[in-house]
């Protein structure tokens, strides 16, 4: 958009810290929600909203916009925070997360919240919806790209692979999937619950081009997203991440999949995140 200055790496890193703080405050205020997978996805979703995506917050329904679908819908705090900071709605509305009457439902609702391109929350389905939006873009000769983010645990759902097969079959050059490989799901590690490796080989064998990146290295994230745009898709980016990233006591701890921090934990978490700035 003409009036939006894409953020460079330094500013993206600052924005990530803001988004992480938002996420923690939101989940704390709601007394429930999913911080772990929101924090693992923060650097990537921030890069998408403040650098990669061609969108217009003043016209959320603009038909030529790039689309972003959060297939792992439970991680919506990161998406809501990015939408608010990007100007889709007031930042102070973030604290209404999960409350009665809010636009910020416990899982994304495309009819309630501006900027949400697809309702989600039942795992495995968002990528198929992304395939539909990508096919529509192709048949209408639109230039938009469709980005969809999945969890690594989510890749256990069979329907993910039905969608993967379908995207390759229809040669969807405009589709970019990102898997947030944080190696944890609800109960335990992905390896223990249901091993999904070798993940890159799986996607490749389904006809996708596979890129890998460190999902917390902003330079790599921006470069990989830029490069993916130039490829003939479908492209999947496997992002190696840490669940709970940025908060020492949440990092790599399954419990923080779906738990709200106490007052004390919130204060500690925020001071850690802000401490990184110095």
Ligand X SMILES: Cc1ncc(C[n+]2csc(CCOP(=O)(O)OP(=O)(O)O)c2C)c(N)n1
The footprint of ligand X (CB under 6 A) covers 36-37, 40, 72, 74-75, 121-124, 151-154, 180, 182, 184-186, 243, 257
The angle formed by the CA atoms of residues 7, 274 and 96, to the nearest 5 degrees, is: 80
| CA atoms in the 13 A half-sphere facing the CB of 258 | 8
Side-chain-side CA neighbours of residue 119 (13 Å): 7
Name the residue with tokens 């490749």: 204
Closest distance of CB 163 from other proteins, Å: 14
Select the residue interacting with other proteins from 52, 105, 240, 241 (CB under 8 A). 105
User: Using an 8 Å Cβ cutoff, are 66 and 57 in contact?
Assistant: no
Between 57 and 151, CB nearer to other proteins: 151
Closer residue to ligand X (CB): 89 or 109: 109
Q: Which is nearer to other proteins, 76 or 269 (CB)?
A: 76
Phi-psi region at 148: left, alpha or beta (left = phi > 0; alpha = psi -120 to 50):
beta
Strand residue runs (E) in 112-192: 146-151, 175-181
Number of residues engaging other proteins in binding (CB under 8 A): 32
110 binds, among other proteins, ligand X, none (CB under 5 to 8 A by kind): none
Q: Which does 109 bind (CB under 5 to 8 A by kind): ligand X, other proteins, none?
A: other proteins
Q: Does 189 bind other proteins (CB under 8 A)?
A: no
CA pair distance 42, 139, nearest whole angstrom? 32
Among 22, 43, 117, 154, binds other proteins (CB under 8 A): 154
Give yes or no for a cis peptide into 268 (omega within 30° of 0). no
Residue with smaller CB distance to other proteins, 31 or 219:
31
Binding mask 28-67 for other proteins (x = CB under 8 A): --xxxx----------------------------------
Residue 180 binding other proteins, by CB under 8 A: no
Q: Which helix (H) or strand (E) holds 236?
A: strand 235-240
> Contacts with other proteins in 213-252 (CB under 8 A)?
none
Binding to other proteins by residue 102, rule CB under 8 A?
yes
Structure tokens at 246: 């940025």
CB of 26 to other proteins, least distance (A): 12
CB 224 within 8 A of CB 213: yes
- State the minimum distance, in angstroms, from the CB of residue 183 to ligand X: 8
CB atoms within 10 A of CB 165: 14
d(CA 52, CA 93): 25
Site of interaction with other proteins (CB under 8 A): 30-33, 73, 98-102, 104-107, 109, 119-124, 153-154, 156-158, 185-187, 192-194
């Amino acid at each position: 958009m003409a009036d939006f200055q894409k953020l460079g790496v330094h500013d993206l890193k600052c924005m990530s810290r803001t988004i992480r703080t938002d996420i923690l405050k939101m989940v704390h205020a709601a007394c429930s929600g999913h911080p772990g997978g929101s924090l693992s996805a923060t650097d990537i979703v921030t890069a998408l909203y403040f650098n990669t995506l061609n969108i217009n917050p003043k016209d959320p329904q603009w038909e030529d916009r790039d689309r972003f679908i959060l297939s792992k819908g439970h991680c919506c705090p990161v998406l809501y925070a990015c939408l608010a900071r990007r100007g889709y709605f007031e930042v102070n509305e973030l604290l209404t997360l999960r409350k009665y009457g809010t636009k910020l439902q416990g899982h994304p609702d495309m009819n309630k919240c501006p900027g949400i391109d697809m309702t989600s929350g039942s795992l495995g389905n968002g990528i198929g919806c992304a395939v539909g939006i990508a096919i529509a873009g192709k048949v209408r000769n639109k230039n938009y790209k469709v980005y969809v983010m999945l969890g690594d645990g989510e890749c256990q759902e069979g329907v993910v692979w039905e969608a993967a097969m379908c995207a390759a079959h229809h040669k969807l050059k405009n589709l970019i999937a990102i898997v947030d490989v944080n190696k944890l799901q609800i109960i335990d590690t992905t390896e223990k619950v249901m091993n999904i490796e070798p993940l890159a080989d799986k996607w490749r064998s389904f006809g996708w081009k596979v890129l890998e990146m460190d999902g917390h290295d902003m330079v790599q994230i921006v470069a990989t997203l830029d490069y993916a745009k130039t490829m003939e898709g479908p492209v999947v980016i496997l992002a190696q991440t840490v669940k709970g990233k940025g908060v020492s006591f949440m990092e790599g701890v399954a419990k923080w999949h779906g738990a709200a921090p106490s007052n004390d934990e919130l204060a500690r978490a925020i001071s850690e995140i802000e401490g990184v700035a110095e």
